[in-house]
Structure 1
């Protein structure tokens, strides 16, 4: 298998080099960018498989970087943020981030998140089941594309995987912990807010009534009447 390429975008040199060293030790090819414009340029030049992206950057911020690279090619983005603020997280997800870590974080946790995101890409590269239709929504798993009433809807890789997971079990209530384990690959159940944020993003893009909340339990995708 070709060695996976990761672009690390972080303006604090010590942090950037620590992340790069850990990921290289995990077997990845790593490049570093320290500001918004150079991040976008290196993304286009290097075509990385995944981007580790800090929010606060000189030039323009990580949210703008994420918006620009996702407009070019859907790629997993692990966003690094100094604040555990739901508004910041929702904005990050809205522009195409798949996952986030709040500073300070352990390099072990970062490496684990990178591996999980890339494993999902590898699974998606295998044989895909047929398209799924839910009312006006068409999910093409082979092309990893979603259309709403005939118009393309841009989903991040994680949003797409979460939608497929719910659509494969319509009307079934799936607990947050189960979704974390089966979609994200997390087993400790500590990231339930991540699930909630991605559900909000799917509702915003595909309709508020698509996914039903079962308070205290989880979520279910409801089929149209």
Structure 2
């Protein structure tokens, strides 16, 4: 199962950047734009990690952090434009695992997430974000797919499906896992979605879709992207 990450951020540009980047890195991402929305998702979505902004429309992230620490011990990384040392100390003393000052690099953010999870006993490896079989090239970070050097346009759902298989290249991913990770946990029984989109994906990247070389069926179990 993907690691579930909650991004609490009211700036739409930063929120969109974080979501798209973290999804490529293999996280299941939910977003909240306010304290109240974050409270609801913390109760019902059970995230494994929280990225928390401070200046939210209906309150301060510090108050949410204190509430969270009274109930849970999940990693919380504060992401804020506030750079005063006293502010950082206050947040860390309140229970934040780390504090990143905006602007920050994606590489630093991912490293800080890995450190926070390692402190909780979960070791994370950097996600696989590229695949090259010689004829099929996929660059998840650049959202680029090419077959024999020619760019291939995929819909967002087709790309998400292929990205999930790239991250587990050479391994079988079950029907339920694909449905949960690409469409959401409420869709795990909608296998017709998977058949439809897998057919569309094969039509775009396989030389002979009826005899696939890349997107392989594991009958009764799921699908596997052939090891590169």
Instruction: Name the TM-score, length of structure 2 as normaliser.
Output: 0.52
Aligned-residue Cα RMSD (Å) equals 1.4
What's the CA shift for 1:119? Answer: 2.5
- Partner in structure 2 of residue 75 of structure 1: 74
Query: Separation in 1 of the partners of 2:71 and 2:49?
Result: 14
- Partner in structure 1 of residue 114 of structure 2: 115
Indicate conservation of the 8 Å contact 1:22/1:111, yes or no: no
Query: Separation in 1 of the partners of 2:70 and 2:18?
Result: 26
- Partner in structure 2 of residue 33 of structure 1: 32
* Structure number with bigger Rg: 2
Q: After superposition, where does 1:16-165 map in structure 2 within 5 Å?
A: 16-123=15-122
Match of 1:37, SS state, is: helix
Once the two structures are overlaid, the 10-residue window that deviates more, 12-21 or 107-116, is 107-116
Indicate conservation of the 8 Å contact 1:8/1:30, yes or no: yes
Match of 2:83, SS state, is: coil
Q: Tell me: CA distance 1:123–1:3, structure 2 relative to 1, closer, same or farther (3 Å).
A: closer
Which stretches of structure 1, 4 residues or longer, exceed 3 Å deviation after superposition? none
Query: Separation in 2 of the partners of 1:24 and 1:112?
Result: 15
Query: Separation in 2 of the partners of 1:104 and 1:123?
Result: 27
1:117-149 CA-partner distances (Å, limit 9, x unpaired):
12232359xxxxxxxxxxxxxxxxxxxxxxxxx
Which structure 2 residue ranges, 5 or more long, are not aligned?
Answer: 124-228
Match of 2:47, SS state, is: coil
Aligned residues: 123
Q: Tell me: CA distance 1:55–1:117, structure 2 relative to 1, closer, same or farther (3 Å).
A: same
1:80-115 CA-partner distances (Å, limit 9, x unpaired):
121221111111112210101001111221122112
Instruction: Name the TM-score, length of structure 1 as normaliser.
Output: 0.52
Query: Separation in 1 of the partners of 2:122 and 2:11?
Result: 34
Query: Separation in 1 of the partners of 2:72 and 2:84?
Result: 27
